[in-house]
Structure 1
Amino acid sequence: MNDAPIGIFDSGVGGLTVARAVLDLLPGESILYIGDTANSPYGPKPLATVRSLAMEVMDRLVDQGVKMLVIACNSASAAVLRDARERYTIGRGLPIVEVVLPAARRAVAATHSGRIGVIGTQATVDSRAYNDALAVVPGIEIFSQACPEFVEVVENGVTTGPKVLALAHEYLSSLREHEIDTLILGCTHYPLLAGVISYVMGDKVTLVSSADETARDVYRTLIAQNLQRDPAAGPPRHRFVSTGDNEVFQRLARRFLGPEVDQVEREVRIGLPVGDAS
């Protein structure tokens, strides 16, 4: 079981920022990543639809023999975490790490004023997942802002320039007015916009990346449950699967993650056998 891959999924390529952070902390681990690009983006979809899609992808990962599941999607984490833990952790003994709680914990540790901002997709903001995660902490105020076009510009390869700067000013102006001192990047695409977000928010605002914090939780979970891969087992093996256009996915994946993405398999539809690598 220890030699099995870590199963990571997202609605598309954004979760590859989580995969990148996991590989940086755990370079000896193998990864099986599924990007449900045929149904991307999850953000505008109803929570019930996101829940159904996410459970189907996780079933696929479990059938492939992963040793843990990483929900590298804020929209899916908000929609499916309780059901996933019942089905896979309680039912199958597989640990699950998601992106909301790790980032919330880090934000609490970072804030001095107790005024925390959250940016994410409309689904993540509407779910109030971060509000719920932080509700147990006294003295914390949460200010949320949906930034739907951030995903589009990142996937188009535009992470700087006048358009991105204008979007950042538009989306972040209300958070500046609330004088937050900590901002959770509540979408795995957003770390690629950390430069412009930090520029607009100013040096006094600490950015918290859900991708980095999730990777730290993956590390802690593997150690705590004695699931780390034996270094003597040989080099790790990574697989990347897209439910949509694998060529587009591969091009974006190399931008998000790097040279580890040497090929991408295509799955025509969730639940069907994975096609030949191309």
Structure 2
Amino acid sequence: MEPQLQEIREQQKASWNKFSPGWKKWDHEILDFMRPFADEIIRSINPKESDVILDVAAGTGEPGLSIATMLSDGKVVITDLADDMLTIARENAFRKGITNVEFTACDVSELPFYDNTFDAISCRMGFMFFPDMLLAAKEMYRVLKPGGKIAAAVWSGPEKNFWVTAVGGTINRNMQLTPPPPEAPGMFRCSKSGLMTDIFKQAGFKNTTETELTGKLNCGTADVYWNLITEIAAPFVAALSNADDSMKEKIKQEVFTLVNEKFPDGNVIIDGNALVIAAEK
């Protein structure tokens, strides 16, 4: 891997480890939010009872843990770049009594598995953060058995993800941040329809499909929404850390106004839109 990509990887690893307590705190809300995307991933790879399945960039353990409950004789290998996220995944597995899982901290660009190892691969909300997406797809292709299936979820555009833009857009308006290059890792890097199917095809996959789905982030109040986002979203926290107290408060109040205008009944349930891309080797 090129030095600049290694640097991005190390920055991401440190960031995910740092924010793992927030992901643990809000795990229930996030899993509910992302359930439609996880369900579509599972439907697409159609796990069989004896399958050995790889879950890449699993974070706190999903959809890998759910898949593991569907396997009578098989297992799921759950991977993530960040050790602290995998610690939470282990705790979740223990609490749910799920034992047919293994945990491996590794980089998707250098998967520590033999060729043709897995019957299927799942990856929920990981691709847009991989330093080299094509290299990641090629590694997944390498470790997948011939005829095996892969499914990955990525966020669609900002216009369909108010849960991100309410805070992100307000920060950008107030702080005039320089936007990252379009190809840089980030939430909406994979949002263009067809981009992920093209990457999969370049990696060697066939029979690619793309499905658009909506999840609902049930926050209840603007205050809960603010706390959730600022405890899990590293880029927003990094930006706010460079603002003085008055600017932070201004941004917070503007976000509250935006959210309350969108949900005047006071029940803050925010749509999030994603693409699920599936393919076969």
Would you tell me which structure has more strand in proportion to its own residues?
2
Structure ranking higher on relative contact order (CA contacts 8 Å, 6+ apart): 1
Same fold (TM over 0.5): no
TM-score (norm. length: structure 2): 0.38
